A and B are shown apart, each in its own frame.
Chain A
Amino acid sequence: MSKNLRITNNRFIDQTSKISFKFDGKTLYGFKGDTLASALLANNIHLVGRSFKYHRPRGIMTCGSEEPNAIVQLGKDPSMTEPNTRATEIELYEGLEASSQNCWPSVNFDIGAINNFFSPLIPAAFYYKTFMWPANFWKLYEYFIRKSAGLGKSPSQPDKDIYDHRYLHCDVLVVGGGISGIMAAKTAAKNNLNTVLMDDKNTLGGTTLFQQNECFKINNSYSNEWIKKEIKTLNSFKNLTIKTRTSLAAYHSYNYLLARENLTDHLDLNEKKDKIRQRLWKIRAKKVIIATGAMERPLIFNNNDRPGIILSSSIKKYIDYYGVKCGKKISLFTNNDSAYETAISLNNSGVSVNSVVDIRDKTNSLIVKQAEKLGIKIHWKSSVVNTNGYKKINSIEIMKLSDDNTATVGKKIIEECDCLGISGGWTPRVHLFTQSGGKLKFRDEDNVFLPDKSELDQISIGSCNGDFELDEVIKNSVKLTNNFLKVNNNDYENLEIISSKEIDKKNIWLLPSDIPLGKTKPFLDFQNDSTANDVKLALREGFKSIEHVKRYTTTGMATDQGKLSNMHALGIIAETAGVKMGELGTTTFRPPYTPLTFGVIVGRNVGEFFDITRKTPMHDWHVDKKAEFENVGQWKRAWYYPIDNENMHEAVQRESKAARDSAGILDASTLGKIDIQGSDVSEFLNRVYTNAWSKLEIGKCRYGLMLNEDGMVYDDGVTTRLSENHYLMTTTTGGAANVLSKLEDYLQTEWPELDVYLTSVTDHYGTVSICGPNSKKILSKVIPDLDLSDKEFPHMSFKNALIDNIKCRVMRISFTGELSYEINIQSSYAKSVWEKCFDAGKKFNITPYGTETMHLLRAEKGFIIAGQDTDGTMTPVDLQMDWIISKKKYDFIGKRSLYRSDTIREDRKQLVGLLTEDPNEILEEGAQIVGKTNKQPTEMLGHVTSSYFSPNLNKSIALAVIRNGKKLKGQKMFVPMKNKTISVTITDTVFLDKENKRLNA
């Protein structure tokens, strides 16, 4: 470490605890309390990255979240590495490893820097303009552009860190722990309000914490001493929560805010282990006080981007807080008073200040006079017109400004320096205010946008509200806070405040130079490498809206969201276009204020917690039998049960054959089940299903089709009448929740007069479905007391029964076309009943089958699956299910839509069966169907919705929707595939057992 860059008598950095870290592979040393940036500067390292477009060397420019240049890759572990982190925000810890981004092979020798020499050839929107044609070359261009661009590398392995989310409710949230925030939090806490104070730094106090200057005193103490006492008093309030290292990311309506708390990022590698890394606070605050302060603006002049050019206030923080000298010969360049604070701080710490270049005429504020008293040289009414030095600044060129400020005059002075502090005034941090929907107003006097109107219960205080002088900050913050909280805290009355006041203000957005503008490089957006020239070019090319100029030039679109660049871009646009800045407006600030890690956004919702997994009561049995599973909504359903080395096709063929030849067993527990009770249920069912329900007897089941009001099929299922006023409705697995909420909607809003109650009981019952010619024999072994004769227990009926004294409901219903029974039993018993049925069926080779076989079996019978054979555009008539539409009912959901001009069209797409010419050819689901092959382009007539090889028919079968399909029965069609065209014939949808004999086998 270059010892001579540290001053020794520093109160914030513990110079006894040395920390080693690595930057670009080199081991360096810093101290506890340093940021990566301050430690690098202490090691005399300014060059930390290359710029995005021209690969120009870039150095640390700020000391906070607005940093555009010093963005580094943190860590090397492929699961933990993090790109685009700001060196100015990373607290140093033992073992930290960081590296530069956007440079190859190294930051000191970067091949991409050749772009800088070609920069006249790379104007704004160069990429848009150049790589437009030929269009099919884009693939090639993209490959190279992506390779040479890009900021950092994303991790290639899953993140091992733990993240967390928590809710927080409070009366008052104060954002920002500077002087205004501290006073506001204390005022709120003193008045018994449940208060939270947040700041993104590791300590409270803001810049006042290290402001030790004769010109800024409170009650005869330096302002830093006063604020330290104030911070101490905060600890006595039990109703005040202080969160440091917590960055407000987003401010939404209804005072809902998101904040990211860094919990372990500052800890040594071994201390981080097994702890929560970051936490996202979801905050609902009754009142919000924004005290986010202001950030310093750069100045826009030729070559203002060299390493060693740093915001003046940051140089002050590096010397006063971190005890780090940013250089040995520092020059300052300003348009306002605050650079003099830096000059005085440097001088007091023994760093020689070459001079202050001030674009204003001589001014006589308290602080300027003090600087002059210390013998600091000032170039009045002058400007820096150029800087020199490639990897680091080594001199500046100073010239006088003409009287109209549009040109430079006189002799050029060359001043040697190794660091240049720049100050272009201050920009209030209004980001959170605008995120919350607040409108801004413009103050011409010092060119700032300030909070104006807001719909929310909030205020902005301090410098984010445009108060830049210490006495005004205190006076106005106290007044605003008292009014806002309707309290009267008089702690801050009668304070004796000494504050230097800025007398003269002057601003030039784009400073003049002695060489023509076209040959200069005045950078606006340092991270995205756009210059004032680019913005001017955009205006010349006809762009007028600020939002368009922003996108065309990419100014303000980098990861820093243009925190430093936006004001100057606006200023230059307004000036060039001859409009007032207030009228131009700003671009939109969007959350997050600073980038968030994906980890903290998802919190604990990763891996198995990403989404709920629903398992049936028999799930473990399926796992034991090595079933493959299919996701249906959140459910895990057994898909098929391979034996030995069977593939899916083989397993499904075997299962399908067994179910029809002897017996199959299916876990149907996932079907939606809605318990319906009340005296008006039959009327209710009449209104929600297309068919008639009034005459359904107790103990009988009926299939129903449910439409949307637009006449399209929505869901289907069997409903059973359990007793006089008690029904059990089943729905599709995926549709269960939606059907329930749709039915609730109608009951609550359209038909409140109906006495009907709906309860979801999907999870309450497990359902064992056994089917096949031997299913009756098997069931009689499981429930010997039950009379299974066709007379007593016919198809579409239901019986209450007991299995080992446990009540269950048995329905004789079928989705396969086979004789079939479904046993519904309380979930906790379902697995044991399943096993009972399986054991009882062993003699009959009972075969467990999954969803794939179920789909195949129902397709053989031409039964639809809502959602597979329908897609929200199919009416029952399109499905050739006219039989299920009651002609007698006056109304049901969707009835009127069934004879709209569009739904009665005869050439709608209709459901048909398809048989392939070659019975072994299996069609692909989703394949398009055409009528002719000799004409191109040919018309698509429809598509395949379901397709299987039927082992029971020994041929391929498919269902499809085809335009005017009903009338095309027997016609030949074609299914063009990538390598061949398959000939098919349109048939009836029912392929097997048209007479339904098997139901009573």
Chain B
Amino acid sequence: MFLINCPYCGERDQSEFSAGGEAHIVRPKQPTELSDNQWAEFLFMRKNIKGVQFERWNHSHGCRKWFNMVRDTSNDKIHAVYKMGEKPPIK
């Protein structure tokens, strides 16, 4: 059970949060101009990394804010949390 440092509320128990999949996938601005393959790439293809992964999380039972997290999936270590729209603090 993680202890997650919500960028708005501070440290809270994982049970207050919900995970929202891979981060930094930008919704295409002009979907109509994409081929089926390009659209499918955005719609379906997600990474499933063993190691450092960038993820979206939502403080769903708290402030309801979405934010990003850098987490190592191999040991669940959270390296950073940062607000939506911000650049990842680590690469």
Binding site for B on A (CB under 8 A): 252-254, 256, 284, 437, 455, 709-710, 741, 744-745, 748-750, 752, 890-891, 895-897, 900-901
Per-residue CB contact flags for chain B residues 7-48 toward chain A (1 = under 8 Å, else 0) read 000000110000010000001101110101001100100000
A455 touches B77 (CB 8 A): yes
List residues of chain A with CB within 8 A of the CB of B31: 891, 895-896
B64 touches A901 (CB 8 A): no
A468 to chain B, nearest CB (A): 31
List residues of chain B with CB within 8 A of the CB of A748: 65-66, 84
List residues of chain A with CB within 8 A of the CB of B1: 252-254, 256
- State in angstroms the CA–CA spacing of A360 and B61 once bound together: 62
- State in angstroms the CA–CA spacing of A815 and B26 once bound together: 38
A747 to chain B, nearest CB (A): 9
* Nearest-CB residue, chain A, relative to B56: A749
A455 touches B75 (CB 8 A): yes
- State in angstroms the CA–CA spacing of A897 and B13 once bound together: 37
Q: A455-B77, A890-B32, A896-B31 are in contact. Are A745 and B58 (CB under 8 A)?
A: yes
26 A-B pairs within 8 Å (CB atoms) are namely A252-B1, A254-B1, A254-B14, A256-B1, A256-B3, A284-B3, A284-B13, A437-B75, A437-B76, A455-B75, A709-B27, A741-B64, A745-B66, A749-B56, A749-B66, A749-B84, A750-B27, A752-B85, A891-B31, A891-B32, A896-B31, A896-B32, A896-B39, A897-B43, A900-B36, A900-B40
List residues of chain A with CB within 8 A of the CB of B36: 900-901
B65 to chain A, nearest CB (A): 7
B84 touches A752 (CB 8 A): yes
List residues of chain A with CB within 8 A of the CB of B75: 253, 437, 455
Interface centre among A256, A437, A709, A896 (most CB of B within 10 A): A896
B2 touches A253 (CB 8 A): yes
A744 touches B43 (CB 8 A): no
8 new A-B contacts at CB < 8 Å, known A253-B76, A455-B77, A744-B66? A253-B2, A256-B1, A437-B75, A437-B76, A455-B76, A741-B58, A749-B84, A891-B32
List residues of chain B with CB within 8 A of the CB of A741: 58, 60, 64
Interface size, B (range)? 20 to 34
B70 to chain A, nearest CB (A): 15
* Nearest-CB residue, chain A, relative to B85: A752
B56 touches A254 (CB 8 A): no
Q: A252-B1, A891-B31, A901-B36 are in contact. Are A745 and B20 (CB under 8 A)?
A: yes
- State in angstroms the CA–CA spacing of A455 and B2 once bound together: 13
B31 to chain A, nearest CB (A): 4
Chain A to chain B: the 10 pairs with minimum beta-carbon distance, closest first: A896-B31, A256-B1, A254-B3, A748-B66, A253-B76, A455-B75, A750-B27, A252-B1, A896-B39, A254-B2
B25 to chain A, nearest CB (A): 10
List residues of chain A with CB within 8 A of the CB of B77: 455
- State in angstroms the CA–CA spacing of A256 and B1 once bound together: 6
- State in angstroms the CA–CA spacing of A709 and B1 once bound together: 31
- State in angstroms the CA–CA spacing of A256 and B36 once bound together: 46
B76 to chain A, nearest CB (A): 5
A710 touches B66 (CB 8 A): no
Q: A252-B1, A455-B77 are in contact. Are A709 and B43 (CB under 8 A)?
A: yes
List residues of chain A with CB within 8 A of the CB of B58: 741, 745
List residues of chain B with CB within 8 A of the CB of A252: 1
List residues of chain B with CB within 8 A of the CB of A256: 1, 3
List residues of chain B with CB within 8 A of the CB of A284: 3, 13
B89 to chain A, nearest CB (A): 18
List residues of chain A with CB within 8 A of the CB of B20: 745
- State in angstroms the CA–CA spacing of A284 and B4 once bound together: 12
List residues of chain A with CB within 8 A of the CB of B85: 752
List residues of chain B with CB within 8 A of the CB of A752: 84-85
List residues of chain B with CB within 8 A of the CB of A896: 28, 31-32, 34, 39
A285 to chain B, nearest CB (A): 11
- State in angstroms the CA–CA spacing of A252 and B2 once bound together: 9
List residues of chain A with CB within 8 A of the CB of B76: 253-254, 437, 455
Q: A254-B1, A437-B75, A748-B84 are in contact. Are A900 and B39 (CB under 8 A)?
A: yes
List residues of chain B with CB within 8 A of the CB of A254: 1-3, 14, 76
- State in angstroms the CA–CA spacing of A900 and B34 once bound together: 11
Q: A741-B60, A748-B66, A752-B85 are in contact. Are A710 and B43 (CB under 8 A)?
A: yes
- State in angstroms the CA–CA spacing of A796 and B77 once bound together: 53
B39 touches A897 (CB 8 A): yes
B52 to chain A, nearest CB (A): 14
* Nearest-CB residue, chain A, relative to B3: A254
- State in angstroms the CA–CA spacing of A749 and B58 once bound together: 11
Interface centre among A437, A748, A749, A891 (most CB of B within 10 A): A749
Interface centre among B27, B65, B77 (most CB of A within 10 A): B27
- State in angstroms the CA–CA spacing of A897 and B2 once bound together: 36
List residues of chain A with CB within 8 A of the CB of B56: 749
- State in angstroms the CA–CA spacing of A752 and B84 once bound together: 9
A438 to chain B, nearest CB (A): 11
List residues of chain B with CB within 8 A of the CB of A895: 31-32
A899 to chain B, nearest CB (A): 9
- State in angstroms the CA–CA spacing of A741 and B20 once bound together: 11
B27 to chain A, nearest CB (A): 5
List residues of chain A with CB within 8 A of the CB of B34: 896
- State in angstroms the CA–CA spacing of A76 and B20 once bound together: 49
* Nearest-CB residue, chain B, relative to A891: B31
* Nearest-CB residue, chain B, relative to A709: B43
* Nearest-CB residue, chain B, relative to A747: B66
List residues of chain A with CB within 8 A of the CB of B27: 709, 750
Interface centre among B20, B28, B34, B66 (most CB of A within 10 A): B66
B22 to chain A, nearest CB (A): 12
- State in angstroms the CA–CA spacing of A518 and B3 once bound together: 54
A885 to chain B, nearest CB (A): 14
B4 to chain A, nearest CB (A): 9
List residues of chain B with CB within 8 A of the CB of A744: 64, 66
